[in-house]
Amino acid sequence: MNTPITLVDTSLRDGMSSVSHRFTADQVATVARGLDAAGIPVIEVAHGIGIGASSIQYGVAAATDEQYVRAAVAAVRVSDIAVLYVPGISTLKDLDACREAGAGTVRVATHCTEADCAEQPIRHARAQGMRVMSFLMMSHKLEPAALAAQAAKLESYGAQVIYVVDSAGALVPSAAGRRVAALRETVSCDLGFHAHNNLGVGIGNALAAVENGATFVDGSLCGLGASAGNAQTEVLAVALDRAGHDPGVDVFTLIDVAERIMTPLMAQPQIIDETALLLGYAGLYSTFFHPTKRAAEKYGVPVRDILIELGRRNVIGGQEDMIIDVAAELSGRLSAVETS
């Protein structure tokens, strides 16, 4: 088999969500230096929600996106530094600033039904000489054929790698594999897979994606990431090797980076708690994680009830304001029952 796989580490972007976006530029440099030494070819950095997201609404980062990019670029010898661009949050000005700071790759992320929103940033980045990867977030929301149709749009705009993205950690291996296989039948560019671990099958999903044609796979050290976190980069590398693929990295150095560099920076281990598991079960975006916990405490309503109702209403990222509406509504129902 020996399929060559490009590992992309997202510890310094998706992992930012686990530390409230508070990694310093020096810490980013230290982690990036270790990942580079381990042979990770692409390292994603910046605010956890994407470039331009540092704000009261999404969380204020410890440094600017450009500072993070410069710190990472200065620390590596061969790794490419990537940033995440979310239309509606990021701007072309943000992207140009990160490119000038040394980012060579941009990952343009849209909801899986809204690939057309990626056209402008993809074309702009390609014109500026950047490599473009494109994310179909919340990929579980579409059946394989419909997801592949969205991927075809991204390829027509110029995306060089298209990702099936399990933003909610809602997929299981068979479902992940079917989606990647459908894309492989539809587009000719490289395919990637980004796993979240809400159901505990992030590594399994990534392996299934590779078996069905993905050659780019994301991970994060120690599983650091939004909600239940991501597939662990160091575990992913070993699992790929054991499955007969070529992860292209020094697995022992990578394990050392996870244990000796990343672990001391973590406030707590990345675990699958009740909220994270229910987000995966309900198929909700990871940005619902902390606001739902706060709303549950404020309104005296179980986290479980809020998340299941939000899932029933089929809400997506950007509709986090519905958390309060649902919590208040459920609280009112509880009060009515108690007084009846």
**CATH number, domain containing residue 320:** 1.10.8.60
Task: Kindly list the distances between the CA atom of residue 250 and the CA atoms of 26, 242, 256, in Å, as whole numbers in the listed order.
Answer: 24, 14, 10
When pLDDT is averaged across residues 55-83 and rounded to a whole number, the result is 96
Residues 155, 245: one domain? yes
Residues 224, 281: one domain? no
pLDDT score recorded for residue 254:
98
Q: Which of 255, 275, 273 is nearest to 263 (CA)?
A: 255
| Cβ proximity of 36 and 28 under 8 Å | no
* Domain-located, residue 315: yes
| Cβ proximity of 256 and 298 under 8 Å | no
What CATH number is given to the structural domain containing 126? 3.20.20.70
Phi-psi region of 209 (alpha: psi -120 to 50; beta: other; left: phi over 0): alpha
pLDDT-above-70 percentage for the chain: 98
pLDDT score recorded for residue 288:
85
Q: Per DSSP, what are the bridge partners of residue 43?
A: 9, 81
Residue that terminates a domain, selected from 265, 293, 317: 265
H or E, element range at 309:
helix 303-312
Give the type of residue at 66: E
Annotated binding-site positions: 13-14, 167, 194, 196, 285
Give residue-wise pLDDT tens across range 263-321: 999 988 999 988 889 999 999 987 788 888 899 999 999 999 999 999 999 888 778 88
At 260 the three-state DSSP class reads helix
Question: 207: which residues sit within 8 A by CB, 6+ positions away?
Answer: 173, 239, 240, 243
- Number of neighbouring beta carbons within 10 Å of residue 313: 12
pLDDT score recorded for residue 320:
86
Residues 109, 225: one domain? yes
Residue that terminates a domain, selected from 211, 238, 265: 265
> What whole-number distance in Å separates Cα of residue 168 and Cα of residue 196?
7
Annotated binding-site positions for Mn(2+): 14, 194, 196
When pLDDT is averaged across residues 234-253 and rounded to a whole number, the result is 97
Residues 49, 196: one domain? yes
pLDDT score recorded for residue 2:
73
pLDDT score recorded for residue 340:
59
* Domain-located, residue 331: yes
| Cβ proximity of 193 and 176 under 8 Å | yes
Give residue-wise pLDDT tens across range 92-139: 999 999 999 999 999 999 999 999 999 999 999 999 999 999 999 999
Rg of the chain over all Cα atoms, to the nearest angstrom: 19
**pLDDT level of residue 339 (50, 70, 90 thresholds):** low
pLDDT score recorded for residue 226:
87
pLDDT at 51 over 60: yes
Q: Which residue has the higher pLDDT, 18 or 175?
A: 175
pTM of the model: 0.94
Residues 53, 188: one domain? yes
pLDDT score recorded for residue 337:
62
Residues 209, 305: one domain? no
Give residue-wise pLDDT tens across range 183-232: 999 999 999 999 999 999 999 999 999 999 999 999 999 999 988 999 99
* Domain-located, residue 53: yes
For the chain, the average pLDDT equals 95
Looking at the 3D structure of the chain, how many domains does it have?
Answer: 2
Total residue length of the chain: 340
pLDDT score recorded for residue 338:
66
The encoded tokens of residue 248 equal: 């292209």
pLDDT-above-90 percentage for the chain: 87
Residues 307, 243: one domain? no
Annotated binding-site positions for substrate: 13-14, 167, 194, 285
Q: Residue 331 is part of which domain span?
A: 274-339
